[in-house]
Every structure is written in C-alpha cells, then in structure tokens.
C-alpha cells in the first residue's frame, strides 16, 4: 500500500489491516475530510445469528462511526429471498418470509453492542468555516439531491434563486440538519467573495458521533415493479460484464448451475447502493473482497442513474495462519448470539488463537491502540498466552460485556489451572427420562456439542482424547445413569474443550 491517507478512517483501515481494495483511495479519503460520510454494509438473514466471519465487517462499521462517519446497517430482508451466489458451489435454500423476519430479529441484537444508534448526548460547538465557490457548489448540489430524490435540476435552480444565504450555507454544510431549527446556528452574512467563498461563524448542535441507522432493503425491493425495474435499472447492466466477475465465473468454470434467480442478486445489491444514496446520501459500500464485483456494480449504477460520486471498499477474506476459514471451530460456526454459543465458548475460541495470529487479530477485532497490539503480538513462549487472554477478554467484552468476559476468564482458570468444573462452562441438562435406561458416553459427547457425530465421538474416545471428570474414557458404550449425575459431570474433549452434564 503506497497511498498515504489523510483522513482518520482511511488511516485506520490501512494500519489495522482492514483494507483489501478501494475503487478510489484518494477521492474517498478526501470525502472523509470534507464532512460526514455515510457508509453501509449489507447482511443477509440466512441464519438466526451472524458468526465470527462477519465480525470484521461489524468492526469496520464501528471504526467508521468512531472516525466521524455514519454507519448504515442494511438488513437483507429482500435479497435473502434470492440468496447471494458469490463463490458458492450450490444454490442457497429459499427461506419463507417468516423465517427471514425471525432471522433478522435475532441478527440485529448484536449491532447495538458495537454501534451507537442514537444515545450520544448533544453538545454545542462554535465553529468558523470557509467554503470556496467550488466546494460550496459541490456541497449544496450533493446535499440537495440527497434530500430531494425526486427533484429535477430545474427545481434545484429555482431553489437556489429563491433561498436566502442562511438556507444555502446550512444546506451546503450539512444535508442531514438543514431543516433543523435555525436558532442552533448564528450566521455572519455578506462574507462571500469569489476568492475566499463563504466565511461565517455558527453554533451547531452536534453529537459526539453521528448515529448509526438500521434499515431493511425489503422496504424498497418488495415494492419493485418488474417491468419498470428492467426498463429503468436493467438497461445499465451488461450480461457480458456480469459473467466476467470472478464470483460468477468460478461457478460456471466448475460447470455448476447458476440459476436466473441467483444471477439477479448482483443487480439487486447494486440497486441497494443507489437507493441508500438517494435516501441517506450514502457514499461508500463496504464488504468482504468476495463482494467486489457486486460493489463495483453498485458504484457504476449510482453514477449512471443519479450522477453521484460514490465509492467501494473491501476487506480481505480472513483465514487463520494455518489456512482455516475464519469463523469456524471444531464444533461448527462460532455464533455471535449468546443463545447459540455461550460467552464462555466465544471467549475460549479467541483464547485458542494460534500464536501467529494474535497480533493481527488484536488489530482487527479490538479497539486496543496499535502500539499495544504490536507489543502483545510480539510476545514469545509462554508469555504469548497473556496476549491471548487479553485478546479473548477484549473481544468478548465488546460483544457480551465486561462481566461475561470476566466470568469466562474465571471459568477457564478454574478448569485449566485448578482442575475444577467452573460455573460458566457450556452445560447439557438431562432429564430423568433421558437416562432411564442409561445414555452412552459417545451420545453424551454428541449432545454436549463436543463431537459432531457418534462416529466422531467414538474416534475421540479410541484416540484417548475423551475424559469424564478428568479420567480417560476407555469404553464408548459405557452407559451413564441418574446415579452418575448426582453431581455435575465434566466432559473433556482434547485439552481445551469442556462441558458439564447435569440432571434437571
């Protein structure tokens, strides 16, 4: 990366390792210097929770807000009905509207842990600014059409002729606030000249940071008229170009079917960007590098339809240093919702990070200063375990809160250092009917989530990796009855995965 950014956001993206590619580094950097930049990332509702693989995108939105931008979380209530085919080997199963709504209800709970949706206390700040004629014209035009999406250039010319200086300056400065009460601003009028532009003092009601918003693309996608959409939007897409994108090309090269339904996905995602630009003045779409083709389509469509300059920015698709896909563990997806994965298991996932990934993950998944990330990531030998605990605590605190992080660390210390059972371990509750005839040890490991299948559990036991109350299990068919559960029973798979079994 040879570009040296001037804005805080672009500097953070580069220095912390978030940036894979950008449609125009310099222009986007300059947009951040000029004012508030709304940016969005879309999340389709294919499950009741996001998993760790989506956390890098959530952190990008968090940094956008921390650097003065406006995060837009887009729920894919409309696009989920089709399914993103990007780099998939098969078609996603179609979900019902009720399933999608249920998934959205589960997913959106996570974002309030990372973003401020309107709870910042307002402050009054007195500022003096000067806009050159070119900057003035650009800001007025962009903000006017962002707020008046159906207006024509004739409407705009009429507005400029009849508006007073206060309205024009307020609109140029901040399209989001130009209709607020004028007593928040005090202007010095008559200070415009061709050399220097407008100069004025004003008192502005601001917040500590722009608030985030959460919207659902079903609001506009569900209302589309098919013929009208093809005429107004479809004409801007070249099928030849769509086929050239790697996400589509790789599927076809493998001679795997790509349905017409899936082929439309990239058009709808591009339309999302256009609609968000119209409604909220959104200037940048972010996402994983597998979304590059879809993002570029949205940039091109917005320029063609409304002649607005917008941008795309992608993050790398992360794998661990040993080549594994980020977001998966031995037991499957690492979910963000506590009802699907306990805070302790989430904490343990980060505690088990390989040594080579610690420094990188600290930069990506925590708010720790870069110098602390570098210092902790450079630790060697047994000291790297201290960095892993710091990583696990910081990430868990962001998602589940400091109490959950502290409880998880305490449980881990109890289990690993003292050989106890810990109060925060994942727990399987059995009832009398479950153990009336006894339940095999292999079944226990499966039901506790420590093995995916009975076959996996038997292999674990055969290899000497399974323990009951810290004693090696020798017989996969050994049955556990109610008498064995008078006290909590601790299951251990390998060295780092534990669960409790109790009788309810």
CB 251 within 8 A of CB 88: yes
Question: Rounded distance, CA 413 to CA 480, Å?
Answer: 28
CATH number, residue 56: 3.40.50.620
Q: What is the CA radius of gyration of the chain?
A: 27
| 133 & 262 share domain | no
Question: Rounded distance, CA 350 to CA 397, Å?
Answer: 12
| 218 & 140 share domain | no
| 15 & 92 share domain | yes
Distances in Å between the alpha carbon of 149 and those of 75, 124, 152, 277?
Answer: 22, 30, 9, 9
| 482 & 497 share domain | yes
Which of 177, 207, 237 finishes a domain? 207
Domain membership flag for residue 381 = yes
Question: Rounded distance, CA 53 to CA 46, Å?
Answer: 14
Which of 356, 389, 416 finishes a domain? 416
CATH number, residue 357: 1.10.240.10
The tokens for 263 are 């082929």
| 381 & 306 share domain | no
Which of 190, 207, 224 finishes a domain? 207
pTM: 0.69
Question: 66: burial class by Cβ within 10 Å (0-12, 13-18, 19+)?
Answer: middle
| 218 & 102 share domain | yes
| 49 & 107 share domain | yes
Domain membership flag for residue 333 = no
CB 127 within 8 A of CB 186: no
Domain membership flag for residue 463 = yes
| 470 & 395 share domain | no
pLDDT of residue 219: 94
Domain membership flag for residue 332 = no
Residue 446 structural domain: 427-503
Domain membership flag for residue 327 = no
CATH number, residue 435: 3.10.290.10
| 112 & 216 share domain | yes
Domain membership flag for residue 331 = no
| 173 & 62 share domain | no
Domain membership flag for residue 3 = no
Question: Rounded distance, CA 304 to CA 446, Å?
Answer: 55
| 39 & 105 share domain | yes
Can you give the three-state secondary structure of 121-172, one letter per residue? CEEEEEEEEEECHHHHHHHHHHHHHHHCCCCCHHHHHHHHHHCCHHHHHHHH
List average pLDDT for each run of 10 residues in the chain, which is 504 residues long.
Answer: 86 96 95 94 93 95 95 94 60 82 94 84 48 54 58 60 56 43 34 39 48 94 88 83 72 69 83 94 94 92 94 90 66 86 92 93 96 95 93 97 93 68 71 83 85 86 82 85 78 79 78
Question: Rounded distance, CA 153 to CA 222, Å?
Answer: 29
Nearest Cα neighbor of 458 from 472, 437, 480, 443 is 443
CB 178 within 8 A of CB 147: yes
Q: In this structure, are strands 466-468 and 489-493 parallel, antiparallel, or unpaired? A: antiparallel
- For 300-447, strand residue ranges (E) read 311-315, 328-329, 332-333, 427-430, 439-440
Domain membership flag for residue 498 = yes
| 102 & 35 share domain | yes
CB 263 within 8 A of CB 290: no
The tokens for 359 are 């420094």
How many domains is the chain built from?
4
The 427-430 sheet, strands edge to edge? 427-430, 497-503, 489-493, 466-468, 471-472
CB 391 within 8 A of CB 361: yes
Question: Rounded distance, CA 226 to CA 228, Å?
Answer: 6
């Amino acid at each position: 990366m040879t570009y040296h950014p001037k804005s805080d956001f672009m500097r953070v993206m580069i220095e912390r390792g978030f940036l894979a590619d950008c449609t125009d580094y310099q222009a986007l950097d300059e947009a951040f210097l000029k004012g508030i930049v709304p940016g969005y990332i879309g999340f389709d509702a294919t499950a009741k929770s996001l998993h760790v693989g989506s956390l890098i995108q959530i952190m990008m939105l968090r940094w956008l807000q921390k650097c003065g931008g406006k995060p837009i979380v887009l729920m894919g209530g409309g696009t989920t009905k089709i399914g993103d085919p990007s780099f998939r080997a098969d078609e996603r199963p179609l979900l019902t509207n009720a399933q999608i709504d249920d998934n959205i209800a589960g997913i959106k709970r996570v974002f309030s842990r990372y973003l401020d949706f309107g709870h910042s206390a307002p402050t009054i700040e007195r500022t003096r600014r000067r806009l050159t004629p070119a900057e003035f014209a650009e800001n007025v035009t962009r903000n006017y059409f962002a707020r008046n999406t159906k207006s024509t250039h004739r409407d705009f010319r009429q507005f400029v002729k009849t508006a007073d200086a206060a309205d024009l300056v307020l609109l140029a400065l901040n399209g989001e606030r130009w209709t607020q009460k004028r007593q928040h601003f005090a202007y010095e009028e008559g200070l415009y000249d061709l050399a220097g532009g407008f100069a004025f003092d004003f008192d502005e009601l601001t917040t500590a940071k722009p608030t985030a918003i959460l919207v659902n693309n079903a609001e506009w996608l569900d209302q589309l008229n098919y013929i009208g959409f093809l005429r107004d939007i479809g004409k801007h897409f070249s099928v030849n170009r769509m086929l050239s994108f790697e996400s589509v090309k790789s599927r076809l090269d493998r001679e795997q079917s790509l349905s017409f339904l899936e082929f439309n996905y990239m058009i709808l995602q591009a339309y999302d960007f256009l609609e968000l630009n119209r409604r909220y003045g959104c200037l940048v779409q972010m996402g994983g590098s597998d979304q590059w083709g879809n993002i570029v389509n949205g940039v091109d469509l917005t320029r063609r339809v409304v002649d607005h300059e917008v941008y795309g920015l992608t993050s790398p698709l992360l794998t661990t240093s040993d080549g594994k896909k980020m977001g998966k563990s031995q037991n499957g997806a690492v979910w963000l919702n506590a009802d699907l994965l306990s805070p302790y298991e989430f904490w343990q996932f980060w505690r088990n990070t390989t040594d080579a990934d610690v420094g990188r993950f600290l930069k990506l998944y925590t708010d720790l200063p870069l110098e602390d990330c570098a210092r902790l990531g450079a630790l060697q030998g047994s000291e790297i375990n201290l960095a892993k605990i710091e990583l696990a605590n910081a990430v868990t605190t962001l998602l589940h809160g400091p109490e959950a992080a502290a409880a998880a660390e305490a449980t881990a210390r109890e289990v690993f250092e003292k050989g106890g059972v810990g109060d925060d371990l994942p727990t399987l509750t059995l009832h009398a009917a479950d153990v009336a005839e006894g339940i095999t040890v292999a079944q226990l490991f499966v039901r506790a989530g420590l093995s995916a299948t009975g076959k996996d559990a038997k292999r674990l036991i055969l290899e000497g990796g399974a323990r009951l109350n810290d004693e090696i299990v020798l017989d996969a068919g050994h049955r556990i009855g109610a008498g064995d559960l008078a006290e909590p029973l601790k299951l251990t798979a390998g060295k780092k995965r534990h669960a409790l079994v109790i009788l309810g």
